[in-house]
């Protein structure tokens, strides 16, 4: 049996996933019961005024302790992290934020006997020697980015806290996440979001990976659903904890451009790969998520056509407002 979640802290709540996750959790658990925490980035009005908001540097354990104690938090969704492309520019910072932050969160949770912690992982745990189509649940994990290194270590650390201290830590390996609310910050899969903004604003996009680059992706509503579902799963049914493979859809950059062209016929896309191509080439094309399907009933709703249609409908309204 899993204990009930009542009072939630979301770190990284200003980020791409954190902002929409916070809104969704506030609907589900009540606005006063979901504390959003951000660091440098200014929160949107909706995030700041839609419930409690705190400034928090996850590298500082005392700051986490203060927020957890002040709000009587029992569950943490720990979304604060440095992504892959920024992580290659600033590997030391990526280690400090991703590992230091997670260690602090886990320690605060252990010391206070919290109900549950969500610790996201990523397709970046895989490396060039992982079978790419599909990536199995448990291949050898030898990533070549600092981001990937911290995600593998984070999965192992989370699983250690489950085994050693009985702390209920859970996590999924997110694919590239596509959304219209908040821009992603410094990842390799960002092109799959930028392309929509540029298609609508300029009718042209210069893509930083090759046309034939295929990566696993997911639309935000599925991402939020997976996050909430894995956190609500019956603990007794879980064999895995912090490392669930998670699949949504897979497509090449060229296929995405073609799909957008169906809605914006004049749209053109050129491909000028930069350093992020190497990162993309080290990740798998497709994901085998049988464990997530079997252990907590995972099933995505969106494919490439339905995601593209929804993105264009949301973004065209948003862009016409500014
Ligand atoms: N979207 C992430 C990145 O590109 C992968 O988890 O860094």
Segment 15-70, tens digit of pLDDT:
999 999 999 999 999 999 999 999 999 999 999 999 999 999 999 999 999 999 99
pLDDT of residue 297: 98
Task: Work out which ligand 1 atom sits closest to the CA atom of 184.
Answer: 1
The SS3 assignment for 182 reads coil
pLDDT of residue 170: 98
Whether the pLDDT of residue 1 is over 60: the answer is no
Sign of CA dihedral 305, 309, 315, 319: positive
Q: Is 121 in the pocket of ligand 1 (CB under 6 A)?
A: no
pLDDT average, residue stretch 304-310:
98
pLDDT of residue 221: 98
More confident residue, 75 or 1: 75
pLDDT of residue 232: 96
What band does 320 get if pLDDT is binned at 50, 70 and 90? Answer: confident
pLDDT of residue 135: 98
The SS3 assignment for 14 reads coil
SS3 content of the chain, % helix, strand, coil (to 5): 45, 15, 35
Q: Is 87 in the pocket of ligand 1 (CB under 6 A)?
A: no
pLDDT of residue 316: 96
pLDDT average, residue stretch 173-191:
96
CA 69 – ligand 1 centroid, Å: 32
CA 189 – ligand 1 centroid, Å: 6
Q: Is 119 in the pocket of ligand 1 (CB under 6 A)?
A: no
Instruction: For the domain made up of 8-176+219-245, give the CATH fold.
Output: Rossmann fold (3.40.50)
Residue found under tokens 């990536």? 135
Question: Please, is 137 exposed, middle or buried when counting C-beta atoms within 10 Å of its C-beta (0-12, 13-18, 19+)?
Answer: middle
As a whole-number percent, the residues of the chain with pLDDT over 90 amount to 97
Q: Which of 124, 175, 217 to mutate to test the pocket of ligand 1 (most atoms within 8 A of CB)?
A: 124
Residue found under tokens 């602090």? 104
Q: How far apart are CA 230 and CA 158, in angstroms?
A: 15
CATH superfamily of 178-217+249-286+301-321: UDP-galactose 4-epimerase, domain 1 (3.90.25.10)
Task: Work out which ligand 1 atom sits closest to the CA atom of 189.
Answer: 4
Task: Work out which ligand 1 atom sits closest to the CA atom of 83.
Answer: 7
Question: Which residue in 166, 114, 124 sits closest to 280, CA to CA?
Answer: 124
β-pairing verdict for 34-38 and 53-55: parallel
pLDDT of residue 141: 98
pLDDT tens digits for range 209-250: 999 999 999 999 999 999 999 999 999 999 999 999 999 999
pLDDT of residue 52: 98
Q: Is 125 in the pocket of ligand 1 (CB under 6 A)?
A: no
pLDDT of residue 185: 86
Q: Is 208 in the pocket of ligand 1 (CB under 6 A)?
A: no
β-pairing verdict for 204-207 and 53-55: unpaired
Q: How far apart are CA 317 and CA 310, in angstroms?
A: 11
Structure tokens at 204: 């042209």
pLDDT average, residue stretch 154-160:
98
Q: How far apart are CA 304 and CA 109, in angstroms?
A: 38
Distances (CA, A) of 303 to 22, 59, 217, 290, 307: 24, 37, 9, 18, 6
Question: Which residue in 146, 141, 136 sits closest to 247, CA to CA?
Answer: 136
Q: In what order do the strands lie in the sheet with 214-219?
A: 176-178, 214-219, 249-252
What band does 2 get if pLDDT is binned at 50, 70 and 90? Answer: low
Instruction: Determine contact, residues 37/15, Cβ cutoff 8 Å.
Output: no
- Alpha carbon 279 to its chain centroid, in Å, reads 17
DSSP state of 3: P
More confident residue, 43 or 320: 43
Break the chain into its structural domains and give their ranges. 8-176+219-245, 178-217+249-286+301-321
pLDDT average, residue stretch 298-314:
98
Whether the pLDDT of residue 3 is over 90: the answer is no
What does the angle CA 186 – CA 221 – CA 81 come to, to the nearest 5 degrees? 30
User: For residue 136, which phi and psi values (nearest 5 degrees)?
Assistant: -70, 170
pLDDT of residue 84: 97
Residue nearest to atom 2 of ligand 1 (CA): 187
Q: Which residues are catalytic?
A: 147
pLDDT of residue 274: 97
CA 236 – ligand 1 centroid, Å: 30
pLDDT of residue 321: 76
Q: Which of 17, 81, 84, 245 to mutate to test the pocket of ligand 1 (most atoms within 8 A of CB)?
A: 84
Q: Count CB-CB contacts under 10 A for residue 257.
A: 20
């Amino acid at each position: 049996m899993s204990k009930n979640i009542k009072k939630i802290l979301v770190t990284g709540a200003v980020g791409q996933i954190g902002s929409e996750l916070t809104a969704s959790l506030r609907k589900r658990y009540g606005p006063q019961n979901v504390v959003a925490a951000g660091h440098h980035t200014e929160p949107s009005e909706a995030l700041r005024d839609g419930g409690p908001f705190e400034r928090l540097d996850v590298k500082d354990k005392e700051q986490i302790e203060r927020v957890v104690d002040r709000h009587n938090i029992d569950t943490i969704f720990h979304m604060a992290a440095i992504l892959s492309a920024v992580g290659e520019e600033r590997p030391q910072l990526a280690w400090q934020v991703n590992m230091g932050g997670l260690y602090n969160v886990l320690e605060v949770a252990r010391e206070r006997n919290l109900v549950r912690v969500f610790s996201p992982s990523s397709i970046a745990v895989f490396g060039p020697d992982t079978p790419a189509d599909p990536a199995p649940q448990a291949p050898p994990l030898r990533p070549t980015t600092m981001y990937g290194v911290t995600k593998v270590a984070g999965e192992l650390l989370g699983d250690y806290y489950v085994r050693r201290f009985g702390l209920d830590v859970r996590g999924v390996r997110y694919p590239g996440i596509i959304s219209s609310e908040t821009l992603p910050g410094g990842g390799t899969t960002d092109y799959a979001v930028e392309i929509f903004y540029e298609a609508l604003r300029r009718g042209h996009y210069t893509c930083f990976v090759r046309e034939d680059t295929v990566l696993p992706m997911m639309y935000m509503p599925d991402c939020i659903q997976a996050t909430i579902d894995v956190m609500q799963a019956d603990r007794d049914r879980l064999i895995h904890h912090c490392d669930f493979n998670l699949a949504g859809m897979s497509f090449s950059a060229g296929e995405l451009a073609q799909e957008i062209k169906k809605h914006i016929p004049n749209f053109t896309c050129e491909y000028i790969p930069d350093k992020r191509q190497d990162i993309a080439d080290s990740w798998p094309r497709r994901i085998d998520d049988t464990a997530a399907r079997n252990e907590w009933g995972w099933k995505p709703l969106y494919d490439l056509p339905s995601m593209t249609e929804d993105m264009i409908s949301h973004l065209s309204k948003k862009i016409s407002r500014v």
